[in-house]
Structure 1
Amino acid sequence: MLEKALPVFWKHGFAGTSLQHLEQATGVNKSGLYSEFQDKEDLFFNALAYYYQHRGALEILSAQPLGWTNIERFLRLGERQENGCTGCFSVNALREISTLSDGIRQLLNDSHRRLMPEVVANVHAENTKLPAEVVADLVMVFFSGVCVESSLRVKDSDDPVGHFMQALKLL
């Protein structure tokens, strides 16, 4: 059920997702949804946790050898997905952070904290001129920006990730 609810939340956000959207996407009626989840917020929390477990970011960033290849593969997670969603579900959720529960905000924060050391390790492996932590911050900010921008892009003819990687290798 989570894999069917996830694209709905991804596309419409927490506030924009109605119970009718969820019923239609999952094929489960209201009572069935609420027998498994306390409410829409609980379903959103679990969909976000499911996303983190299955998106593969940690696996990509911990692949050997560490370096630019892993960073590029991670950044490309923000491109159009097989389910038609664009950007990153987590980044999309951040746009609503002020309206989300403490538990969801904590889940978002914990995910970011888990990724940063992995990004730093990959940058460090490349012996950049700037400190690895500074470059890792740039990577994460770029990732968020490119994910937001991807939902505005009508066509995928340009390659912002490729362009960023060219610039990154100069640092």
Structure 2
Amino acid sequence: MRTGRPKNFNREEVLDKAIPVFWKHGFSDTTLADLETATGVNRSGLYTEFKDKEDLFLAALKRYLETSGLIDVLAQEPKGWANVESYLRMALSCWPGQKGCFSVSSMRELAVLPDEARAIVARSMTPIKRLLVENIEAAAARGDASFIAEMAMTYFSGISIDQNLVGNATGSRRIENFMGVLREL
């Protein structure tokens, strides 16, 4: 039995190089040529590792969510408002050299995204909401912790998209103002 050429690239490194390409161009406008250039892996190598562009996108999205640090920030002890604020600040840039959040940015293409992409993002929200609730409860908020967590998640998405229009200073000021409101709830 004859085997193919040995793989001469690292899957995680390819995904780390593909994420900014999908982030910049979106799923539908990213071409295989864009991915070849960014990753340094030719078409044949990409198709050997990933069955198609959709498979590569899904793997990149999973990799991003696993390495974004959102869960780590919210799981830090002691729990409380500081973790919630750190989480919101990650909306300004969850990945070096990028603005906003890749998973949020990807959802702007909801109509053309693979169904699995929506499912991956939806599953990622469950532990984030649970940890937000834990942090809000630890902060002894007077309002409903679940509702406040949903507000924070919605704000995270909005500020993440907003980062494409404004700079970090504006985003940072908006987060400080929003945290002032949350602390009063």
| TM norm structure 2 | 0.87
From the superposition, tell whether residues 102 and 82 of structure 1 become closer, same or farther in structure 2 (CA, over 3 Å): closer
Q: Is 1:168 matched with 2:182?
A: yes
Contact 1:14 1:44 in 2 (8 A): yes
Distance 1:81 1:102 in 2: 24
Contact 2:100 2:159 in 1 (8 A): yes
CA-based RMSD of the aligned residues comes to 1.2
Distance 2:174 2:106 in 1: 22
- Name the SS of the counterpart of 1:84 in structure 2: coil
Distance 1:106 1:80 in 2: 23
Q: Residue type of the partner of 2:25?
A: H
Q: CA deviation at 1:60?
A: 0.9
Q: CA deviation at 1:152?
A: 1.1
Describe the superposition over 1:9-62 as per-residue Cα deviations: whole angstroms up to 9, x where unpaired.
Answer: 111110121111111111111111111100000000000110111111111111
Identity %: 41
Runs of 4+ in 1 over 6 A off after TM superposition: none
Per the alignment, residue 147 of structure 1 pairs with 160
Distance 2:95 2:52 in 1: 28
Of residues 123, 128, 147, the one that matches 1:110 is 123
Per the alignment, residue 35 of structure 2 pairs with 22
Task: In structure 2, list runs of 5 or more residues that go unmatched.
Answer: 1-13
Contact 1:14 1:93 in 2 (8 A): yes
Contact 2:68 2:94 in 1 (8 A): no
Describe the superposition over 1:93-147 as per-residue Cα deviations: whole angstroms up to 9, x where unpaired.
Answer: 1111222222211111100122111111111111112110111111001000000
Of residues 87, 105, 115, the one that matches 1:74 is 87
Task: In structure 1, list runs of 5 or more residues that go unmatched.
Answer: none
Distance 1:156 1:110 in 2: 28
